[in-house]
């Protein structure tokens, strides 16, 4: 068939002429796209009925989907600390011991932040010449010593805390937006978010900041790490004018559509610059959809139970897509149990850096999975923590709950519901219920929604426990908890006078220091 | 670019040489693949975390996905009657008036079946020379006058009722399996289903019957209609040996994998025979996943509320894929509100036949959507019936519930739960609750799980009602209910001595006729 050979030859020429530089597996650029409170069920490729994420669906079709990908904790700050340190929050200190099994984060009054003893991904990447930028939300502490440029990032455009507000600056300052080490303004002041209409240009700004960074590093032939962390899907959700009202899903969907569009723009820029074969991109979210804000300002966890703040699947299973043309097989699906801490170790592996050997690192190197050597790295457990307590563990398809809690009766009766419309007896409990003597076990393959506990009288139950128990015992026995960083609060530490405020005339005067033990209600 | 032109030219030659006959839009073959109790969330493309349906996912990638596709009733018999008549069961008689809002079907003791006054799809297709075969479950009545060959089908391989059993033939006969107009044997006798292991070769038989029919009609240059209706995903679920134990989801997943494999084989045969561009294929299911049988023998309704037997989304929203290479655009998604009755009207349109004009037909012609002329046919309502009651209506993104009921307290307390793990106050009620004066309204775009009723005090609620009320009034005012066919039961009518039993020595003796009004508990 000479005609066919000719076609193949010409096709090959056409195909490869679009690649501007040769494939390079050593020190590829790394982009981690971390969404805020976006749920597993928010992407078309994961079954969102509105199917409004064409760019993410295409990213999955060109890359590898991870249906069993987890966060390190069911809320923002500890999840992000886990990603950047490769360690469980109970190890890296992003938790509280003020009460049992409580979710702590970094509100404005938090005294602590990421510990000076923790080594962050950009600090390590710097040893191999990477330039790193964070665009968007930081959430690892807002005091000067905790900010990104102190922790290995070379550039930052974004904010240290959530975009809650607007506040009356005499009582509580509005959150600052930084450009590198100095504030540029504040949310609801220079950086508008219209809570009534949901309009804000922030995602567009974060997109342009990302694109500009990629362009500059590419022109400088610099390997780079971009940690792209927009927060439009965290309540109060927002979108820019062209996207408002466009979704079938209301304002939350508008925010998703704008983020999807931005992902498409970034991937498209990589192709335009000819660096797509030399850039590893990973898309995921920091925790499950916040059902407390649904349906107008919260997302979907698909078939999973409950959402953000909980250690049920809806709180911790995340949408996840890896993309790296010519390296990751198109349209692949990996059932590997994986988590955000693996992104730390995997990024190091891609850059040819060994993880720190003076501490426990929980992340695994996923490159064998990504590059399709074995399809599974290892049958590793996933731990589901809430504060200082290991609530549950997954091993293979089985998940054993040692503690269950949605939230307290007091919170629940005040209208705060992390599991709206869902009620699994003895599971979605409103008091902390201990099951350590007889864990509640689910088979997540047959029962992803955690609705049908396996009978404790069954042989299957006994078999599971005989395999899970040693894993849990080993974990508990060897665990050395880090010094908890999220115990103390103080109004004096809020964002009254961030660096750069003088130039802008935006320094505020805070109260005298009067620390207290933070109260974490759930 | 002469090189490129050459490539395109050769590509065109290569592409089209695989087509054995020219594209023909008039009288294409029609294949309707109707699954049994398969849920919206059972397909990878609709978000099943196990992603074990590569053939169906590929079918969607090559065809058009319908995320807003509905059945005509939340259980087998009336759903199938709706598909084949194009009419709501309340019109075609496949319902009961023995009690309010009850789900009736065709168990062995049912006296009735599809009314002699109803015109079925194969009867109409015959007027244009189509040859029709049903493979698998019929469920429109098992008495001689109700069987498929009396209602327009030319061939049949399958059974008139569900594969419940095994029975003691002195009390209740096992269900017969027919080849055309005569029985070949019975389930659990000649046609094995091992309820302990879940092993049965039935799906393989149904596959081969389908492939054989397609081959014969193609060789005879006959336009054909294949109604492929396997029931492996109806409890007791089954799969053949090569598929048993293969799924991450247990036995139910094994059944899904074998059906997915079969769909792949059928589509592949169409390509091999070169008739893929002349064969319209539609894949869907007869009702939502039976959560009462979950997790071992029931499927997933993804993010939707409840399942089979209910008029919540989980009971009536179905997986749906249309496939017709060169006619339907690859990878298309249509948000058209559509239902199984549209398959009746659409099939007629494809065959160039007008629907009957002496009766109300509920189905719409979807060909403009399929062939991408407008993207939506019309803003039509979807009616959710349970027996003789219109429980709910969907118009656009809004769904208004006029009645809510999951099942009775008595049933619920006996362990029958159509909404396991789900509980939406005032919605998943255990008594029939009337809301006709103030319907409960959900926005299915923002809230596909029907968890967050729109406040009756809101302007949105008033706006919705002002649009929905006239639609419902019009429907109720003009509705002429059919004569109910599913009111009477009688042990004498069971499958004691089906045609052909003499030859096999398998005739059984039934009791004398003693009819009673059937009791439908939910
Ligand atoms: Ca978050
Ligand atoms: Ca069914």
Q: Which residue of A has its CA nearest to B246?
A: A445
CB A305 within 8 A of CB A314: yes
**pLDDT for res A12:** 34
Cα-only R_g, chain B:
23
Q: What percent of chain B has pLDDT over 70?
A: 94
Interface of A with B in 375-434 (CB under 8 A): 397, 420-424
**pLDDT for res A25:** 56
Interface of A with B in 161-190 (CB under 8 A): none
Q: Which tokens in the block code for residue A51? A: 């199917």
Classify burial at B491, counting beta carbons within 10 Å of its beta carbon; exposed 0-12, middle 13-18, buried 19 or more. middle
Q: How far is the CA of A75 from the centre of ligand 1 (A)?
A: 5
Domain boundaries, chain A: 29-379, 389-478
Interface of A with B in 441-480 (CB under 8 A): 443-452
The answer to whether A426 is annotated as binding is no
pLDDT above 50 (res B207): yes
Number of H helices, E strands in chain B: 13, 21
- Put simply, whether B295 touches A (Cβ < 8 Å) is yes
CA gap A170, A36 in Å, rounded? 29
A296 CB neighbours in chain B (<8 A) are 446
Q: Is A142 a catalytic residue?
A: no
CB B289 within 8 A of CB B302: no
CB A35 within 8 A of CB A286: yes
**pTM, to two decimals:** 0.94
Q: Which residue of A has its CA nearest to B297?
A: A446
Q: Is B234 a catalytic residue?
A: no
CA gap B275, B271 in Å, rounded? 6
pLDDT above 60 (res B117): yes
Query: Binning pLDDT at 50, 70 and 90, where does residue B3 land?
Result: very low
Q: Which residue of B has its CA nearest to A50?
A: B445
Interface of B with A in 314-373 (CB under 8 A): 333, 335
Q: Which tokens in the block code for residue A264? A: 């498409």
A281: phi then psi, degrees, rounded to nearest 5: -120, 135
Count how many pairs of residues, chain A against chain B, have C-beta atoms within 8 Å. Answer: 135
Interface of B with A in 4-43 (CB under 8 A): 4, 6-7, 10-11, 13-14, 41
- Cα angle at B287 between B327 and B155, to 5 degrees? 65
Task: Please answer yes or no on whether A420 and B452 come within 8 Å at the CB atom.
Answer: yes
Q: How far is B10 from chain A (nearest CA, A)?
A: 7
Q: What is the pLDDT of residues B216-271, one digit of tens each?
A: 999 999 999 999 999 999 999 999 999 999 999 999 999 999 999 999 999 999 99
How distant, in Å, are the alpha carbons of A3, A364, B13, B92, B145 from that of A354? 50, 12, 53, 71, 76
pLDDT above 60 (res B9): no
Q: Which of B12, B43, B303 to probe by mutation at the A interface, max A CB count within 10 Å?
A: B303
CATH topology assigned to domain B29-379: Alkaline Phosphatase, subunit A (3.40.720)
A6 CB neighbours in chain B (<8 A) are 6, 10
What is the edge-to-edge ordering of all strands in the sheet holding B332-333? B182-186, B176-179, B155-159, B131-137, B224-229, B29-35, B279-285, B321-323, B64-65, B332-333
Beta strands B29-35 and A516-517 are unpaired
Q: Which string of b and e fits B326-339 if b means at least 16 CB within 10 Å?
A: ebbeeebbbbbbbb
A294 CB neighbours in chain B (<8 A) are 446-447, 451-452
Classify burial at A480, counting beta carbons within 10 Å of its beta carbon; exposed 0-12, middle 13-18, buried 19 or more. exposed
Direct distance between the N- and C-terminal alpha carbons of chain B, in angstroms, rounded to an integer: 69
Q: Would you write out chain A's pLDDT as a tens digit for each of its 522 residues?
A: 334 333 333 333 333 333 333 334 579 999 999 999 999 999 999 999 999 999 999 999 999 999 999 999 999 999 999 999 999 999 999 999 999 999 999 999 999 999 999 999 999 999 999 999 999 999 999 999 999 999 999 999 999 999 999 999 999 999 999 999 999 999 999 999 999 999 999 999 999 999 999 999 999 999 999 999 999 999 999 999 999 999 999 999 999 999 999 999 999 999 999 999 999 999 999 999 999 999 999 999 999 999 999 999 999 999 999 999 999 999 999 999 999 999 999 999 999 999 999 999 999 999 999 998 766 667 899 999 999 999 999 999 999 999 999 999 999 999 999 999 999 999 999 999 999 999 999 999 999 999 999 999 999 999 999 999 999 999 999 999 999 999 999 999 999 999 999 999 999 999 999 999 999 999
Q: Which tokens in the block code for residue A318? A: 């995340």
- Put simply, whether A47 touches B (Cβ < 8 Å) is yes
Q: Which tokens in the block code for residue B439? A: 């319907």
* Residue A161, helix vs strand vs coil: coil
- Architecture per CATH, domain B389-478, reads as 2-Layer Sandwich (3.30)
**pLDDT for res A131:** 98
**pLDDT for res B426:** 96
Region at B185 (left for phi over 0; alpha for psi -120 to 50; beta for the rest): left
CA gap A83, A283 in Å, rounded? 13
When CB atoms are compared, the residue of B41, B296, B397 closest to A446 is: B296
Beta strands A279-285 and A29-35 are parallel
- Does this chain's domain A29-379 share its CATH topology with A389-478? no
Q: How far is the CA of B72 from the centre of ligand 2 (A)?
A: 12
CA gap A227, A36 in Å, rounded? 13
Nearest in space to A153 (alpha carbons), one of A172, A166, A134, A139: A134
Q: Which residue of A has its CA nearest to B299?
A: A446
Largest CA distance in chain A: 85
Task: Please answer yes or no on whether A248 and B422 come within 8 Å at the CB atom.
Answer: no
B300 CB neighbours in chain A (<8 A) are 303, 448-449
* Residue A373, helix vs strand vs coil: coil
Choose the catalytic residue: A15, A100, A139, A142: A139
Nearest in space to B398 (alpha carbons), one of B337, B343, B339, B340: B337
Q: Which tokens in the block code for residue B22? A: 């020219």
Tokens 């929050």, residue located: A89
Q: Which string of b and e fits B223-256 if b means at least 16 CB within 10 Å?
A: bbbbbbbbbbbbbbbbbbeebbeebbbbbbbbbb
Q: Which helix or strand (DSSP H or E) is residue B386 part of?
A: strand B382-386
Q: What is the pLDDT of residues B490-519, one digit of tens each?
A: 999 999 999 999 999 999 999 999 999 999
pLDDT above 50 (res B24): no
- Cα angle at B412 between B409 and B417, to 5 degrees? 140
Region at A27 (left for phi over 0; alpha for psi -120 to 50; beta for the rest): left
The answer to whether A36 is annotated as binding is yes
Task: Please answer yes or no on whether B67 and A46 come within 8 Å at the CB atom.
Answer: no
CA gap A305, A391 in Å, rounded? 15
Nearest in space to A447 (alpha carbons), one of B315, B298, B235: B298
Write down the ipTM of this complex. Answer: 0.93
pLDDT above 90 (res B376): no
């Amino acid at each position: 068939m000479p005609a066919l050979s000719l076609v193949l030859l010409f096709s090959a020429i056409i195909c490869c002429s679009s690649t501007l530089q040769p494939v390079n597996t050593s020190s590829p650029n790394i982009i981690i796209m971390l969404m805020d409170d976006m749920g597993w069920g928010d992407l078309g490729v994961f079954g969102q009925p509105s199917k409004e994420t064409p760019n993410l669906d295409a990213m999955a079709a060109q890359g590898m989907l991870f249906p069993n990908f987890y966060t390190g904790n069911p809320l923002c700050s500890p999840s992000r600390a886990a990603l950047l340190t490769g360690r469980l929050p109970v190890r890296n200190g992003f938790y509280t011991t003020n009460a049992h099994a409580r979710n702590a984060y970094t509100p404005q009054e938090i005294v602590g932040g990421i510990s000076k003893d923790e080594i962050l991904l950009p600090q390590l990447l710097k040893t191999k010449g990477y330039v790193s930028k964070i665009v968007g939300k930081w959430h690892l502490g807002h005091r000067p010593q905790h900010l990104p440029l102190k922790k290995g990032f070379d550039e930052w455009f974004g904010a240290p805390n959530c975009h809650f507000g607007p506040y009356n600056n005499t009582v509580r300052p509005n959150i600052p937006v930084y450009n590198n080490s100095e504030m540029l303004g504040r949310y609801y002041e220079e950086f508008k978010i219209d809570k009534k209409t949901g309009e804000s240009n922030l995602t567009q700004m974060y997109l342009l900041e990302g694109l500009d960074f990629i362009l500059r590093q590419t022109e400088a032939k610099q390997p780079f790490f971009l940690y792209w962390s927009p927060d439009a899907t965290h309540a109060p959700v927002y979108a820019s004018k062209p996207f408002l009202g466009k979704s079938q899903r209301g304002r939350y969907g508008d925010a998703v559509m704008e983020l999807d569009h931005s992902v498409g723009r970034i991937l498209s820029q990589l192709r335009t610059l000819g660096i797509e074969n030399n850039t590893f991109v990973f898309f995921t979210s920091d925790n499950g959809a916040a059902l407390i804000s649904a349906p107008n300002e919260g997302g979907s966890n698909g078939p999973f139970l409950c959402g953000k703040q909980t250690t049920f699947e809806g709180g911790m299973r995340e949408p996840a897509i890896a993309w790296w043309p010519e390296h990751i097989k198109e349209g692949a699906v990996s059932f590997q149990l994986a988590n955000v801490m693996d992104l730390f170790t995997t990024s190091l592996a891609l850059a040819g850096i060994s993880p720190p050997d003076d501490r426990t690192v929980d992340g695994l190197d996923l490159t064998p999975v990504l590059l399709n050597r074995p399809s599974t790295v290892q049958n590793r457990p996933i731990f589901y923590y809430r504060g200082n307590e290991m609530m549950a563990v997954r091993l293979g398809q089985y998940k054993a709950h040692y503690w269950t809690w949605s939230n307290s009766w007091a919170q629940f009766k005040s209208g705060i519901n992390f599991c709206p419309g869902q009620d699994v007896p003895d599971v979605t409990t409103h008091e902390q219920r201990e099951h350590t003597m007889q864990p509640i076990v689910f088979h997540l393959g047959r029962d992803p929604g955690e609705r049908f506990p396996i009978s404790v009288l069954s042989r299957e139950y006994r078999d599971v426990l005989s395999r899970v128990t040693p894993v849990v015992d080993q974990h508990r026995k060897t665990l050395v908890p880090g010094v908890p960083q999220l115990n103390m609060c103080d109004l004096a530490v809020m964002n009254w006078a961030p660096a750069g405020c003088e130039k802008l005339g935006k320094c505020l005067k805070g109260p005298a220091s009067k620390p207290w033990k933070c109260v974490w209600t759930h």
